[in-house]
Amino acid sequence: MSILVVSASHRGASVESLNALALDTAGVTKLAHGLTDTEVVDEAVVLSTCNRTEVYAHVEKFHAGLEVVVEALSQASGLSPLELQRICAVYYDEAAVGHLFAVAAGLESMVVGESQILGQVRHALSTSQQAGTVGSALNSLFQQALRVGKRAQTETSIGAAGRSLVGAAVESLARLGVELDGRTVVVLGAGSIASLAAHTAADAGADVVVVNRTLAKAQRLAEQVDGSARPLGELAAALAGAQVLITCVGAPGTVVGPELVQGTPLRGVVDLALPADVDARVGEQVALVNLERLQRELAGTTGAAEVAVARELVSGEVSDFLGARRAAKVAPTVVALRTMAAEVVSAEMSRLVGKAPGLDAAQLHEVERTVRRVVDKILHQPTVRLQSHAAAGGSPDYAGALRELFALDPDQVAAVSSLSRTETPAGEVDPAGWPDAGRAAERA
């Protein structure tokens, strides 16, 4: 089994393509179920945010898995397989682990170092867990990715100053001459990004009006920022008294068109949704900051030194994770070896009871303890060194040698392995025509 990632992100895909690939929770669940219903994918996690849609799959075979994932993405988005080949990057095994860890650390975000991605990765894992499409392989990978992301935020300067897409958008709006202080800001939506937008606006000195389809959710968010709330049906009335609109709904089709803005006192609109909430023609009437604009403005804005430190942390975590997985791969052989040794001791003790009936229970117990200690001492160094060599990688197949030399029962080894399967075989594939991990990293 192998870990495969097919990634469409702001690094290689246009906003229009990302719009087509954007999925809500129901769409994510449907895609994941469709993948795991096939014979070649046994686990799937789908990550869909405002600047990326990625499929993480545990697959039987690489090429067959890639074909299935691409076809599923094509059906979900309406983009052709050839178009997906042009805009997507493919990561496999070790590169897949490194990519997810970098994503969780904020290194692949439009705003490098932003912390919102951690919550989005956590939500992707939770959604797959609830859908029943994630197993031990991807669960352990994503759990470790969350820990890596947390370390990057707390132990390096990449997460300094609370970087966020919302903050970057507000700064962009200010460069266009629209400040939030003393303004009335309408926040359309009540999700995590809308919540961040409402708090950011309130902290900047704005009066916040939260508009949402579900009024109760809008009211809960408004209470947190001492603002007011309105249902979606009163959006036009809310805009009639506002200078700034920040929207992050991501519903199919545009929510805000030129006719809704015309005649209002609006001076600036921020659209952080994918698919876009705001018709591009709105930019002809007011200052418009959308994901496309932010993508241009944010390219290369994070210091190289900050990124280098964070990437070093991620690299170390990748090495540790892969080492632990390689060590786990030989664990079934170690268990089988020790089980065989224990069975030999038990058989010899039974033989001793028949050969030396004069030994009492205490003496037999001491003999057995002594024999087991001898066996443990003999096996200790070989098993420790086996795990050490396996973790280091690139070593001869010592586990295979042990299985051959001691004639270990293959069924017993396989049974132990099936109970604790977390490893995927190492492999490096650069399928013709697909961006590989190296080229994806260069675009970073």
Q: Is 116 annotated as a binding residue?
A: yes
CB atoms within 10 A of CB 395: 14
Q: Is 299 annotated as a binding residue?
A: no
Name the CA radius of gyration of the chain, rounded: 28
Pick the catalytic residue: 15, 23, 31, 50?
50
The residue among 62, 84, 86, 60 whose CA lies nearest residue 72 is 84
Structure tokens at 249: 């709904």
Between CA 406 and CA 397 the distance in angstroms is: 14
Q: Is 3 annotated as a binding residue?
A: no
Q: What is the amino acid identity at position 101?
A: F
The residue among 78, 45, 77 whose CA lies nearest residue 59 is 45
Q: Does residue 151 contact residue 174 with C-beta atoms inside 8 Å?
A: no
CA distances from 87 to 7, 80, 270 (A): 9, 11, 26
Q: Which residues pair with 278 in a beta bridge?
A: 256
Q: Is 87 annotated as a binding residue?
A: no
Q: Is 422 annotated as a binding residue?
A: no
End-to-end CA distance of the chain: 29
Q: Does residue 62 contact residue 13 with C-beta atoms inside 8 Å?
A: no
Q: Is 126 annotated as a binding residue?
A: no
Q: Is 193 annotated as a binding residue?
A: yes
Q: Is 189 annotated as a binding residue?
A: yes
Helices 192-203, 116-131: crossing angle, 10 deg rounding: 160
Q: Is 194 annotated as a binding residue?
A: yes
CB atoms within 10 A of CB 195: 20
Q: Is 130 annotated as a binding residue?
A: no
Q: Is 361 annotated as a binding residue?
A: no
DSSP secondary structure string, 398-409?
HHHHHHHHTT--
Known catalytic residue: 50?
A: yes
DSSP for residue 48: E
Between CA 9 and CA 55 the distance in angstroms is: 11
DSSP secondary structure string, 363-410?
HHHHHHHHHHHHHHHHHHHHHHHHHHHHHH-S---HHHHHHHHTT--H
Between CA 441 and CA 419 the distance in angstroms is: 35
Q: Which residues are catalytic?
A: 50
**Residue positions forming the annotated binding site:** 49-52, 109, 114-116, 120, 189-194
**Residue positions forming the annotated binding site for substrate:** 49-52, 109, 114-116, 120
**Residue positions forming the annotated binding site for NADP(+):** 189-194
